[in-house]
Amino acid sequence: MKSENTPFVGGPLDGRVLPILLGPTGHPPKVYEVPVPDREGGGPPTVLVYRRVPAGYSRRLGLQQGWKYEYDPSGQRGRRLKWPWSKPDPQTDTGNGTGTGTGTTDAPPERPT
């Protein structure tokens, strides 16, 4: 498999360049997770999350010049596919003001007949 030397920006891996395996399309993965073992050895490992962003663009034609990974301090892992029949994420609010994330709103008033 092909690999590409990809720079990391921010977080504990700031300034490092690591070889990242490329997928079938020739791009590195959108989210790169780095497990860091617990110092005491008994707990679960901490996972550092890095997201893929364009490294830069050429001056003349504006073509993209590779990728780099930026540290995501929120630590949220990759997004799930959003199918129409999928349930919403429990931690996200849909904006109905209740904070329950159910997405229900008050019914519109009935029209007089």
In this prediction, residue 87 carries a pLDDT of: 76
As a whole number of angstroms, the longest Cα–Cα distance in the chain is 72
Find all residues with CB under 8 Å of 43, minimum gap 6, and list them. none
CB atoms within 10 A of CB 50: 23
CB atoms within 10 A of CB 91: 7
Domain positions in the chain: 3-71
Task: Locate 88 and state its tokens.
Answer: 């919403």
Task: Locate 57 and state its tokens.
Answer: 């663009």
In this prediction, residue 38 carries a pLDDT of: 83
In this prediction, residue 91 carries a pLDDT of: 63
In this prediction, residue 96 carries a pLDDT of: 53
Using alpha carbons, select from 8, 2, 35, 3 the residue that is nearest to residue 20. 3
DSSP 49-99: EEEEEE--B-TTT--B--EEEEE-TT---PPPP--TTSPPPTTS--SSSSS
In this prediction, residue 66 carries a pLDDT of: 92
pLDDT along the chain (113 residues), means of 10: 92 93 92 87 87 94 93 78 75 52 59 69
In this prediction, residue 78 carries a pLDDT of: 62
